[in-house]
Amino acid sequence: MTEIEEHGGVATASAADAPTEQLPPVPPGPGSAAGPDGDGAVGRLSSLETRDLSAWFGDHKVLERVSLTMAPGEVTALIGPSGCGKSTYLRILNRMHEMVKSAQLAGQVLLDGADIYSPGRRPADIRARVGMVFQRPNPFPAMSIYDNVVSGLKLAGIRANKARRDELVETSLTQAGLWIEVRNRLRAPGGALSGGQQQRLCIARSLAVEPDVLLMDEPCSALDPTSTRRVEETIADLRGRLTIVIVTHNMQQAARVSQSCAFFLATHDTPGRIVEAGPTRQLFEDPQDERTSDYVNGRFG
């Protein structure tokens, strides 16, 4: 496996990683549509599904036959104790799992019904459609706020003229809830922003490539309560405009931001698997498995 450059959910592979045949983009599924205003500014409403997904690092199996549907335009929260495979599962959804040399997987990941691991699919193309926001903000610290946002375009191989870049910067920062705070200092370094602002800048960078799905790996774990609230407000604003999958250890946050929830669990001798999945309200108020009830009520984990 070749090394891949990774920034804000957009990644590029070396030439050695490119397939000999380039297939057309994954077609939109029947539920795909433009954003709420019909302008497609954030991308299509895409469905995401895994079927019997298992994963390994070398001989160590970390996920066992995970099947889950993440509905278009909704927020799906992945919850469970540390070490149960949630972050690994998230990275599989945009082909970042394969960046680890010993990584292997079996099963299917379907984006609008097409397997993203099919032969000939370019990982960089998938990562442009399925963006990632990481646990800790990772803007380019010396690069301006403006250049941080448009850097995703270059990494994804997207060309845009000055007018289009200006439009994407304003649109993406607005969608990330940051435009009003930074519009008069777009040329200031991204590293000069507060932690919460940097995280929203990373969200804006991911949105600039107009993804269909946004993955978020504990995006608020390093933030103060005020910054957490603003990121959650951003997630709420994006709901219905793209499909979001978030890993969180904060049960209150999962209950606030998500419409669907999946509870992962692993033991010392069994890999991670889904114990229960369904509407968030059901999992929190009327779980069908005692282990789910124990976890969401803080009795373990």
Closest CA to 218 of 179, 189, 257: 257
What is the model's pLDDT at position 128? 86
What is the model's pLDDT at position 197? 94
Distance CA 218, CA 213 (A): 16
What is the model's pLDDT at position 120? 87
pLDDT category of residue 27 using cuts at 50, 70 and 90: very low
* Helices 195-207 and 225-238: angle between axes, nearest 10 degrees: 20
Per-residue pLDDT tens over the stretch 220-265: 988 999 989 999 999 999 999 999 999 999 999 999 999 999 999 9
The per-residue pLDDT of the chain, averaged, comes to: 85
Per-residue pLDDT tens over the stretch 152-171: 888 777 889 999 999 999 99
3-state secondary structure of 274: strand
Distance CA 16, CA 4 (A): 11
Res 37 pLDDT > 90: no
pLDDT category of residue 288 using cuts at 50, 70 and 90: very high
pLDDT category of residue 113 using cuts at 50, 70 and 90: very high
Res 78 pLDDT > 50: yes
What is the model's pLDDT at position 112? 93
Both structure tokens of 34: 């433009």
Q: For domain 4-10+60-296, give the fold.
A: Rossmann fold (3.40.50)
Res 149 pLDDT > 90: yes
